[in-house]
């Protein structure tokens, strides 16, 4: 039995960036990481905070705050999503950029980590207001963007349409069309087949590998999915089609339960028609937080960070937690879950399908040569299976959990690149 890490701060005082740094500290000890490299990775390379006005449809002008953070660019240009959410903060964006650095290295694609966000609630903005906000934010951060510098993608509260507005705004500033400046954009302007489903598909692929490693299989397994956005809805559908019994799903308005299994195709149609899961026929309502403690084989937290904490981790009864969201499990919760023999497949492996296919989209955009959906899915499968196998091997070698193993793989690759390049001048 390996010794448990000691947390440097009490969980109650840890924000997302504290947690990211704590995860780095744990793996730095395991790797015997060079002190100078550790110090470099503790700090983002650059950060930009912008405050900008948007003309609202009621005739007023409202100020918004946005961020873009580059964590580490040693392995390639910055890659990371942009989220529009009312609780977005600079520390959250810093943490997400760090996780992107590790994630890109774990799946071994040539990107560094970045993240961006605007403090806003897109649900209360009209379409023209959302477009104006997006274009103004893009203009403000354009000094950091470029197909060889920083390539954004969708995240919480953003989608392909918003990426299209970002691409168009950047292209207007440059005076020519630049498709490779963003990924996750519509097919009509250079998006990739399979990109929308990529993160959810990657979650299910990694879940399959984790279950197989434990002598189990997806078919016949029970699954609960927290979050029914792009990641959670696709994952739920693919679990359902693979023969799993998806017993519970939640969105921001509530959760639905059917112990015999939900009809996910019908649930998707209902959600699209009504805007919510609540009231779905052939289901019963349940408190959203209760979904995390259902007695299922597989739990997929696919909403926001810090969902499984010291307060509820002991009540988690799933055999496997497959992290569809970024940072849904706190370090204290990790310790509790390990003590209860719950296998956690971390976000930097489990939800890396999105950035992997974003990499494919970027390559296709640079070459102006596009692949079929079957080709994209086959390449995604190959990379996700390989990444999980490498993380699992590191876990065996270092006798540690999968999260620590993933950081050993990812941080190790970044450290190797830093060492090879050296410090300029």
Give me the active site residues, please.
Answer: 115
Q: How far apart are CA 146 and CA 5, in angstroms?
A: 40
Going from the C-alpha of 284 to that of each of 242, 258, 261, 301, the distances in angstroms are 24, 7, 12, 20
CA angle 145, 92, 18 (to 5 degrees): 125
> Which tokens is 13 given?
């005082």
- DSSP characters over 28-66: HHHHT--HHHHHHHTS-SEEEEEEEEEE-TTS-EEEEEE
Q: How far apart are CA 334 and CA 329, in angstroms?
A: 7
> Which tokens is 132 given?
């104006």
**Residue whose pair of structure tokens reads 């193993």 in the numeric block:** 405
Going from the C-alpha of 392 to that of each of 182, 198, 395, the distances in angstroms are 32, 22, 5
**Residue whose pair of structure tokens reads 């496997």 in the numeric block:** 320
Q: What is the DSSP letter of 216?
A: -
- Give backbone dihedrals phi and psi of 353, rounded to 5 degrees, phi first: -60, -35
> Which tokens is 153 given?
């993608």
- Give backbone dihedrals phi and psi of 248, rounded to 5 degrees, phi first: -150, 145
**Closest residue by Cα to residue 91 from 8, 143, 13:** 13
> Which tokens is 123 given?
């649900």
């Amino acid at each position: 039995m390996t010794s448990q890490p000691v947390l440097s701060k009490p969980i109650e005082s840890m924000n997302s960036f504290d947690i990211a740094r704590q995860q780095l500290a744990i793996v730095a000890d395991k790797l015997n990481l060079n002190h100078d490299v550790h110090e470099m990775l503790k700090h983002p390379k650059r950060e930009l905070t912008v405050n900008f006005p948007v003309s609202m449809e009621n005739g007023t002008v409202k100020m918004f705050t946005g961020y873009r953070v580059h964590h580490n660019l040693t392995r390639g240009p910055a890659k990371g999503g942009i989220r529009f959410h009312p609780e977005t903060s600079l520390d959250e964006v810093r943490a997400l950029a760090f996780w992107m650095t590790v994630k890109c290295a774990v799946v071994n694609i040539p990107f560094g980590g970045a993240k961006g966000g605007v403090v806003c609630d897109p649900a209360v903005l009209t379409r023209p207001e959302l477009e104006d906000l997006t274009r103004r934010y893009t203009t403000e951060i354009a000094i950091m963007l470029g197909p060889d510098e920083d390539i954004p993608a969708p995240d919480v509260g953003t989608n392909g349409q918003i990426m299209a507005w970002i691409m168009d705004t950047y292209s207007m500033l440059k005076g020519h069309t630049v498709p490779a400046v963003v990924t996750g954009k519509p097919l009509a302007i250079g998006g990739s087949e399979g990109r929308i489903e990529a993160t959810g598909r990657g979650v299910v692929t990694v879940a399959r590998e984790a279950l197989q490693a434990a002598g189990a299989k997806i078919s016949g397994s029970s699954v609960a999915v927290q979050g029914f956005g792009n990641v959670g809805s696709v994952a739920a559908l693919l679990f359902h089609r693979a023969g799993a019994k998806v017993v519970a799903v939640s969105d921001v308005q509530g959760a639905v339960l059917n112990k015999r299994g939900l009809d996910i195709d019908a649930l998707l149609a209902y959600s699209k028609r009504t805007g919510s899961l609540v009231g779905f026929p052939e289901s019963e309502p349940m408190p959203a937080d209760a979904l995390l403690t259902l007695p299922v084989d597989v739990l997929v937290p696919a909403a926001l960070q810090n969902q499984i904490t010291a307060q509820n981790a002991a009540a988690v009864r799933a055999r496997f937690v497959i992290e569809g969201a970024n940072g849904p499990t706190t370090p204290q919760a990790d310790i509790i879950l390990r003590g209860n023999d719950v296998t956690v497949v971390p976000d930097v492996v489990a939800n890396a399908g999105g950035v992997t296919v974003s990499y494919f989209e970027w390559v296709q955009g640079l070459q102006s040569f596009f692949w079929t959906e079957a080709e994209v899915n086959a390449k995604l499968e190959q990379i996700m299976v390989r990444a999980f196998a490498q993380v699992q091997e590191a876990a065996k070698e270092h006798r540690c959990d999968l999260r620590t193993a993933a950081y050993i793989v990812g941080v190790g690759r970044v450290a190797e690149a830093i060492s090879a390049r050296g410090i300029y001048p």
